[in-house]
A = this chain, B = another copy of it.
Amino acid sequence: MDTQNYNGGTMEGGKREKEVTGGGGGGGVRCSEFGLRVLAFALTLAAAIVLGVDKQTKVVPVTVLSTLPPLNVPVTAKSHYLSAFVYFVVANAIACTYAALSLVLTLATKGGQKGLALIITILDLVMVALLFSGEGAAAAVGIIGYKGNSHVRWNKVCNVFEEFCHQTAAALVLSLLGSVAFFLLVVLAALNLHKKGK
């Protein structure tokens, strides 16, 4: 309440001081925003590529008849066999494209246009939701692949496709870090607006 009363007054000195602090803080905020956006771009790009190209072929011995020796059959695991992984890759690709576009936009306008900054904050928030849903989906399927589930008789597959599963886990960590970057971008925007609103 104190701050509001203070702002309601007409003290010129206080006003000027606020403007100067705001300007100095703005540079730091812009630097952090730039760094976070580059990070978000790189991490989501890496996540999309790592899971997108994830593929492992393994020769599995299959017993056809108990009296015959097992047949060696090559079996392939691909990320696009599972819809959750496809969604994860698409979500990360969208987030990565958006990160690049928003980076160009914020650099071009130098953070001057307030309306644009608000739209970018809302889109950052959309990316948080999109990425976290993709990560949730990929993690849920990954856990069933890793542990299996006896209740619904879904057998684990990670004992066969170890490398495939490791690559999936790596993509998940990368995407998680990317979504944290988007999360921090929204927090930063809120902090920045909060500081200006004081």
Contacts and interface: CB of A to CB of B under 8 A. Distances in A.
A140 B140 CA distance: 7
A108 B15 CA distance: 31
Contacts of A189: 190
Please tell me how many copies of the chain the complex holds. 2
Which among A129, A138, A190 has the highest number of chain B CB atoms within 10 Å? A129
Given A132-B133, A137-B136, A197-B197, A190 B121 contact: yes
A143 B83 contact: yes
- Majority secondary structure of chain A interface residues (helix, strand, loop or mixed): helix
Interface stretch (A41-49, A51-59, A152-160): A152-160
A122 B189 CA distance: 11
A154 B197 CA distance: 54
A171 interface: no
Interface residues of A, number: 55
A13 to B, nearest CB: 12
A81 to B, nearest CB: 4
Interface of A: 1, 3, 8, 10, 12, 19, 77-78, 81-84, 87, 112, 114, 117-118, 121-122, 125, 128-130, 132-141, 143-145, 149, 151-155, 157, 179, 183, 186-187, 189-191, 193-194, 196-198
5 contacts: A8-B19, A84-B140, A125-B128, A125-B186, A152-B154
